[in-house]
C-alpha cells in the first residue's frame, strides 16, 4: 500500500514535465561547477553553475547518472562526483586516499564506456589520463577559487557544445545498459508491480529529509540484523525499477523545497494525491496554517493565504469545501504518511488513505472543536499544531513536547479519532505551573471536552446563561481576581498566581477564603469615589454567580477543572471586551 | 466445499507484517492467507492434510496503531537448540549485551475480527487410515472445545487470537457494498521451492478476500 502508492505517485509525476522527477537510472544532485574540456582533454575553463549571489550561492539541482550509495570506502559515480574523485585532491591535497578515489573514478569510467566513441566522453578519458593530482590546486585556481571547487560536486562539458557530457544520448544509453546488466541480483516477483522474473533490488536508496534522521538518509526497507530476517529472505521482493521509483518519489516529497511536507513533533508528514488536484500544493497550509500577521511576500502567496483561510472557514462552519472552491474534486484519493527516524532506519508512524472531501471534513471538525474566542486579535484564528503543542511543553520549548502527545494530536486531527487521553492532565498541569490560561490552552481544553468526554456543548465565547457549576466557579474566580486587581493595582502576587490551580481542584478549600478577601478589596474600592461604580458592579456580579451555586464542591475532577478554566478564560476575556457594549 | 469449515477469530491486536517492512513492522490491512493457515494449523494439522484458505471475511473496520518495543537484534545461534536437545541441557539465550538491543516500532492493527473459510486436501503423505471425514471431525471437535496445539495468533506470537467454530451464517462485514484494492499481498511461502514468497493481487469485495490457491498459475513465481 505505502510503497505501491508512492510508486504510482512517481509514475504520475514522471508524466508531468514541470515536476522534474528524475528518470530511471538518474538522480538529482547538487552540482556547483562544470569542467569545460577541449576535445584533446585539456581543461579550458571551470564554469560556475551556482545560483544566487554573495553568501547565498546555492548549487544547482541537476539530473545526473544515479549516485552510488557511499557510506565508507571508495566508490565512484559516473561522469560526475566530488573534487576528491575527479581531481584526486581536496582540502587535504592529493593524499593517498584521494589518489585512490581518482583511480576509482577513472576505472569506473572505462568500465562503462569501453565501447563509447563519443567525442565528449573521449575528452573526459583524455583529461583523466593527463591530469596531475598533485598540481590540482594550481590548475584549478586559474579559473575558480580552489576553496570553492574542492568541496563541490562537478560535471563535465565539451567546449563549444551545449549540454553536459553525461546528458549525451550515446553516453546515457551506455549507462542504462550498464544498470541493467549490473544485476547479479536474484530474480523474483515484485510485490509492488506484480511483475514476475524481474531482478530484485538489493540495497534500496536511503531516504533523506526526515527530521532527526541521519544526514546520509535512512532506510524504509532494510534487513540489517539477523533478527529481521525470516525464511532466509534478506531482501524484500521489490524490483529494482520499483525500488528506484518509490525511493525517488519519497525523496522528492521530502526534499527541502517540497510543499507537501510538515514536521510535527518527531514525525515528518508528507501527503500526496492520486490525481493532480488544485489543493495538493497547499495542503501543508491546511494542516499548518501560516500565521496571519506574517505578510506574504508575493502577490501570489497572498492570494493563496486568503484562499486557504476561506477554505478553512468554510469547512469549520460545516460547509462543503466545494462551496468555496468549486473546482475542487473531493473524491480524489489522498495519502498521508508520517515517518520518524529510528536508528539508521525509518519507521512508519502514521499512514492513512482517505478521500480529499473526507479529510477536509475531519480538519473542519477539528477546527470547529478548537474554535475559541481569542485573547488578542494577533492570535491566529486557526492555530497551527505546533503552537498548540508548545503550550503543553515545559518552558514553552519545542524540544519538551512529548512525541506521543504530538503524534496523538496529529492522528486525532487527521482521522477524527479521540484526542490522546493525557492531553487534559498535561494542559491542566501547565496551567497550574504557569498560572496562565492562554487562548491555545483554552482551545485545547474545549476540543478535548467536546470530543473525548462527549460534553454536548462548550461555548466558544462568554456565555452568561451557562449554569453548570465548574463554569460558574471559573467565572467567579475571574471576578475575584479582577476585584483584587482593581483594588491593589500592581500587586506582586495576585490571587491567580497563588490559587488558580487550587481553586480549580478544591474549590471548597480556597473559594470561601478568597471571597472574604474580596470583601476587603471591594470595600477598598467603595471608599474611592472614582471607583464606587466598579465596586457595586463587581459585588453584584459575585452575588449573581454565587446565587446560581448551591455549594462549593470539595474537589473537582480533571474534566470539571477543564471547564473551570474555560469559564475563567471567558469571564476574563469578557472584562476586556465588554467595555464598549456597556457604553 | 464439502469439507469446508468456518472459523471466527478475533483479538485486540494483530500484525500481519509486510515482508518489505518487517524491520520497522507495518501490518497489511487485513489478515493474510498464510496467517489464516497458521491459525488453522494451530488447532489441527497432520502431515496427511494441507489447509487451503478459500475466503477471509473482514468484519471490523481496519484501524492502525503504533507501538515501540525493545527487542533483540540477533537470533539464537542455530546449533544451540540442537545441542540442547541432544545433551538434555537448558535452552537459554543471553540478551543482556547492550549491542544486542534494538528498539523497533510497529504499525499494527487494533481490534480485529475475521471469519476464515477454508477446506483441506489430502497430501501424498496420507496413509490408508487417513480420510477427509476423519480429519474434518477431529478439527470440528477440537475447535468447538477450544483445543489447540499451540496458541493461535494474529500474525505475531504476542497477539493471541480468540476463536470459535462458526455453524451459523457469517456476520455481515462493515465493508459490505464496498470494493477496496489492497495491492499485492503475501499469499504464502512456497516451501517446496527454496522458500520463495508468493504474492497475489488482493482485493476486498463486500469485505471478502478470496485468495487464489497457491497452486494456481497466476501466483507461480
Indicate the burial class of B212 (C-beta count within 10 angstroms; 0-12, 13-18, 19 or more).
middle
Q: Is the pLDDT of residue B218 over 70?
A: no
Q: Is the pLDDT of residue A373 over 70?
A: yes
Q: Is the pLDDT of residue A579 over 50?
A: yes
Contacts of A316-321 spanning 24+ positions with Cβ under 8 A = A316/A364, A316/A367, A316/A368, A316/A371, A316/A382, A317/A364, A317/A368, A318/A364, A318/A368, A321/A357, A321/A360
More confident residue, A279 or B1: A279
Indicate the burial class of A293 (C-beta count within 10 angstroms; 0-12, 13-18, 19 or more).
exposed
pLDDT tier for residue B221 given thresholds of 50, 70 and 90: very low
The closest of A573, A431, A551 to A496, measured between CA atoms, is A431
Mean pLDDT of A148-159: 84
Chains A and B: how many Cβ contacts under 8 Å? 98
pLDDT tier for residue B114 given thresholds of 50, 70 and 90: very high
- CA–CA distance, A391 with A353 (Å, rounded to integer): 30
Chain A residues within an 8 Å CB radius of B189: 231
% chain A with pLDDT above 90: 0
Condensed to tens digits (0 to 9), the pLDDT of residues B165-217 reads 988 888 888 988 888 888 889 888 888 777 888 888 899 999 999 998 876 54
The closest of A87, A190, A193 to A146, measured between CA atoms, is A87
pLDDT at A181: 62
Lookup: cell for B131: 480420510
- CB–CB of B161/B154 below 8 Å? yes
pLDDT at A382: 82
- CB–CB of A179/A82 below 8 Å? no
In this structure, are strands B49-58 and B5-14 parallel, antiparallel, or unpaired? unpaired
More confident residue, B122 or B34: B34
Mean pLDDT of B134-159: 92
Work out the mean pLDDT of chain A and round it to a whole number. 81
Tell if the CB–CB gap between A237 and B107 is shorter than 8 Å.
no
pLDDT tier for residue A583 given thresholds of 50, 70 and 90: very low
Condensed to tens digits (0 to 9), the pLDDT of residues B52-109 reads 999 999 999 998 888 888 888 888 777 778 888 888 888 777 777 777 888 888 889 9
Chain B residues within an 8 Å CB radius of A352: 64
% chain A with pLDDT above 70: 95
Mean pLDDT of A308-317: 79
Q: Is the pLDDT of residue A114 over 80?
A: no
ipTM of the prediction greater than 0.85, yes or no: no
Q: Is the pLDDT of residue A457 over 80?
A: no
pLDDT at A124: 84
**In this structure, what are the phi and psi dihedrals at residue A338, rounded to the nearest 5 degrees?**
-110, 125
- CB–CB of A144/A46 below 8 Å? yes
pLDDT tier for residue B27 given thresholds of 50, 70 and 90: very high
Interface probe for B, chosen from A203, A225, A412 (most Cβ of B below 10 Å), is A225
- CB–CB of A479/A548 below 8 Å? no
Interface probe for B, chosen from A192, A228, A336, A420 (most Cβ of B below 10 Å), is A228
Mean pLDDT of A68-89: 81
pLDDT tier for residue B220 given thresholds of 50, 70 and 90: very low
Condensed to tens digits (0 to 9), the pLDDT of residues A187-235 reads 888 888 888 778 888 788 888 888 888 877 888 888 878 888 888 777 7
pLDDT at B1: 43
pLDDT tier for residue B6 given thresholds of 50, 70 and 90: very high
Nearest CB to B72: which of A227, A237, A343? A227
User: Cβ neighbours of residue B29 under 8 Å, at least 6 residues apart?
Assistant: A1, B62, B109, B180, B182
Lookup: cell for A246: 518509490
Chain B residues within an 8 Å CB radius of A232: 195
- CB–CB of A389/A406 below 8 Å? yes
pLDDT at A183: 55
**Stated pTM of the model:** 0.79
Condensed to tens digits (0 to 9), the pLDDT of residues A9-57 reads 888 888 877 777 777 778 888 888 888 888 888 888 888 888 877 777 8
A80-82: strand order across its sheet: A43-48, A33-37, A153-158, A80-82
Tell if the CB–CB gap between B184 and A191 is shorter than 8 Å.
yes
Mean pLDDT of A273-301: 68
pLDDT at A323: 74
Q: Is the pLDDT of residue A290 over 70?
A: no
Shortest CA distance from B77: residue in chain A: A226
Amino acid at each position: 500500500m505505502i510503497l505501491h502508492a508512492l510508486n504510482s505517485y512517481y509514475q504520475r509525476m514522471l508524466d508531468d514535465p514541470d515536476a522534474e522527477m528524475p528518470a530511471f537510472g538518474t538522480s538529482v544532485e547538487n552540482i556547483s561547477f562544470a569542467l569545460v574540456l577541449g576535445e584533446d582533454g585539456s581543461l579550458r575553463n571551470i564554469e560556475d553553475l551556482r545560483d544566487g549571489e554573495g553568501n547565498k550561492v546555492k548549487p544547482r539541482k541537476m539530473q545526473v547518472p544515479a549516485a552510488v550509495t557511499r557510506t565508507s570506502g571508495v566508490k565512484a559515480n559516473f561522469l560526475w562526483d566530488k573534487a576528491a574523485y575527479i581531481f584526486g585532491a581536496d582540502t587535504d591535497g592529493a593524499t593517498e586516499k584521494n589518489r585512490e578515489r581518482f583511480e576509482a573514478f577513472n576505472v569506473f569510467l572505462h568500465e562503462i564506456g569501453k565501447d563509447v566513441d563519443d567525442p565528449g566522453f573521449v575528452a573526459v578519458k583524455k583529461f583523466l589520463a593527463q591530469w596531475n593530482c598533485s598540481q590540482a590546486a594550481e590548475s584549478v585556481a586559474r579559473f575558480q577559487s580552489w576553496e570553492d571547487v574542492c568541496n563541490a560536486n562537478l560535471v563535465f562539458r565539451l567546449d563549444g557544445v551545449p549540454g553536459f557530457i553525461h546528458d549525451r544520448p550515446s553516453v546515457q544509453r551506455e549507462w542504462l545498459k550498464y544498470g541493467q546488466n549490473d544485476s547479479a541480483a536474484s530474480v523474483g516477483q515484485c510485490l509492488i508491480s506484480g511483475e514476475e522474473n524481474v531482478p530484485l533490488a538489493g540495497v534500496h536508496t536511503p531516504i533523506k529529509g526526515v527530521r532527526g534522521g541521519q544526514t546520509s538518509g535512512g532506510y524504509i526497507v532494510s534487513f540489517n540484523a539477523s533478527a529481521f530476517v525470516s525464511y532466509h529472505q534478506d531482501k524484500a521482493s521489490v524490483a529494482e525499477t520499483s525500488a528506484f521509483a518509490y525511493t525517488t518519489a519519497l525523496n522528492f516529497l521530502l526534499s527541502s523545497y517540497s510543499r507537501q511536507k510538515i514536521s510535527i513533533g518527531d514525525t515528518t508528514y508528507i501527503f500526496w494525491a492520486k490525481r493532480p488536484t488544485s489543493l495538493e500544493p497547499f495542503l501543508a497550509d491546511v494542516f499548518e496554517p501560516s500565521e496571519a500577521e506574517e505578510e506574504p511576500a508575493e502577490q501570489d502567496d497572498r492570494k493563496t493565504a486568503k484562499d486557504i483561510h476561506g477554505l478553512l472557514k468554510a469547512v469549520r462552519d460545516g460547509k462543503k469545501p466545494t462551496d468555496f472552491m468549486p473546482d475542487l474534486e473531493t473524491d480524489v484519493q489522498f495519502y498521508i504518511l508520517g515517518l520518524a527516524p529510528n536508528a539508521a532506519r525509518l519507521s512508519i508512524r502514521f499512514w492513512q488513505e482517505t478521500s480529499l472531501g473526507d479529510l477536509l471534513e475531519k480538519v473542519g471538525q477539528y477546527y470547529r472543536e478548537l474554535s475559541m474566542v481569542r485573547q488578542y486579535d494577533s492570535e491566529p484564528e486557526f492555530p497551527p499544531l505546533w503552537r498548540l503543542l508548545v503550550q503543553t511543553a515545559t518552558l514553552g520549548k519545542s524540544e519538551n513536547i512529548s512525541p506521543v502527545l504530538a503524534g496523538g494530536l496529529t492522528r486525532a486531527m487527521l482521522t477524527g479519532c479521540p484526542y490522546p487521553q493525557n492531553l487534559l492532565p498535561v494542559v491542566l498541569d501547565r496551567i497550574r505551573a504557569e498560572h496562565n490560561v492562554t487562548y491555545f490552552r483554552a482551545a485545547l481544553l474545549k476540543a478535548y471536552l467536546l470530543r473525548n468526554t462527549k460534553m454536548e456543548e462548550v461555548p466558544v465565547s462568554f456565555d452568561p446563561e451557562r449554569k453548570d457549576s465548574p463554569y460558574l466557579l471559573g467565572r467567579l474566580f475571574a471576578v475575584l481576581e479582577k476585584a483584587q486587581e482593581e483594588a491593589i493595582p500592581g500587586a506582586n502576587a495576585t490571587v491567580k498566581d497563588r490559587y488558580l490551580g487550587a481553586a480549580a481542584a478544591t474549590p471548597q478549600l480556597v473559594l470561601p477564603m478568597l471571597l472574604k478577601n474580596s470583601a476587603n478589596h471591594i470595600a477598598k474600592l467603595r471608599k474611592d469615589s472614582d471607583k464606587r461604580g466598579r465596586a457595586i458592579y463587581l459585588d453584584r456580579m459575585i452575588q449573581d454567580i454565587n446565587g446560581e451555586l448551591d455549594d462549593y464542591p470539595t474537589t473537582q475532577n480533571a474534566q470539571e477543572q477543564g471547564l473551570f478554566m474555560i469559564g475563567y478564560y471567558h469571564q476574563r476575556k469578557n472584562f476586556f471586551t465588554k467595555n464598549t457594549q456597556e457604553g | 466445499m464439502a469439507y469446508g469449515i468456518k472459523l471466527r477469530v478475533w483479538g485486540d491486536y494483530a500484525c500481519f507484517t509486510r515482508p518489505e517492512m518487517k524491520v520497522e513492522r507495518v501490518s497489511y490491512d487485513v489478515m493474510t492467507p498464510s496467517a489464516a493457515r497458521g491459525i488453522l494449523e494451530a488447532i489441527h494439522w497432520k502431515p496427511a492434510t494441507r489447509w487451503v484458505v478459500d475466503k477471509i471475511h473482514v468484519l471490523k473496520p481496519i484501524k492502525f496503531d503504533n507501538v515501540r518495543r525493545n527487542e533483540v537484534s540477533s537470533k539464537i545461534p542455530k546449533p544451540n537448540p540442537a545441542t540442547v536437545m541432544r545433551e538434555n541441557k537448558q535452552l537459554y539465550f543471553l540478551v543482556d549485551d547492550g549491542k544486542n538491543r534494538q528498539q523497533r516500532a510497529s504499525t499494527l492493527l487494533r481490534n480485529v475480527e475475521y471469519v476464515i473459510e477454508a477446506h483441506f486436501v489430502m497430501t501424498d503423505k496420507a496413509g490408508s487410515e487417513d480420510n477427509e471425514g476423519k480429519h474434518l471431525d477431529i478439527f470440528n471437535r477440537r475447535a468447538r472445545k477450544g483445543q489447540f496445539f499451540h496458541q493461535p495468533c494474529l500474525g505475531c506470537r504476542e497477539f493471541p487470537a480468540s476463536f470459535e467454530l462458526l455453524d451459523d451464517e457469517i456476520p455481515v462485514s462493515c465493508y459490505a457494498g464496498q470494493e477496496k484494492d489492497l495491492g499485492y499481498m503475501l499469499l504464502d511461502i512456497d516451501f517446496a521451492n527454496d522458500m520463495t514468497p508468493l504474492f497475489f493481487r488482493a482485493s476486498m469485495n463486500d469485505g471478502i478476500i478470496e485468495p487464489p490457491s497457491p497452486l494456481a498459475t497466476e501466483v507461480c513465481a
